[in-house]
Amino acid sequence: MFVKNWNKSPLHPALLLATWFYSGLFPKAPGTMGSLAALPFAWLIIERSGPIGLSVAILLSFGAGLWASDVYMKETGRTDPGEVVIDEVAGQWIACLPIAAMHSQIGLSPGPFILAFVTFRIFDIYKPWPIKIFDQRHDAYGVMMDDVIAGFFASVFVIGFYLYVLP
């Protein structure tokens, strides 16, 4: 099997979701790959459904992430494995929420998404307080919440940038 200790089907929903359709299995920087893989979905959701649609998608990804990461960790016997990137998806979408809210003013272009991506990755990698608290948990809730908070911090940065730097 291509995932160590994974004895279920390679098409099992927990594997597909936890690795965000295998993007987390990229050998280098799986979290970054998961965040990148989340962006086209964010763009499409914002384009089709706006901030309400993205908010619903965030809630669904959080719930699915709790389940999928828990199943994945129990099956593989590992805590917070790097290939689990559904948490990056939820966090990246939270970082993109201001884009959804302001897209009529700033438009849907690569610039805002790049800003959301870079700021989210910085907060996710460096894990300032209180992100670090959740990162130290060894359960599905900790896996998801550190990225949720990193996404929240990134979204505040994106809002500030568009309100105060580029008025």
Where do runs of H (alpha helix) occur along 77-139?
86-106, 110-126, 131-135
pTM, two decimal places:
0.94
Angle subtended by helix axes 30-76 and 110-126, to nearest 10: 50
Taking only the tens place, the pLDDT of each residue in 7-38 is: 888 999 999 999 999 999 999 999 999 999 99
108 burial class (0-12, 13-18, 19+ CB within 10 angstroms)?
middle
Taking only the tens place, the pLDDT of each residue in 65-99 is: 999 999 999 999 998 899 999 999 999 999 999 99
Nearest partner of 64 among 129, 125, 14, judged by Cα: 14
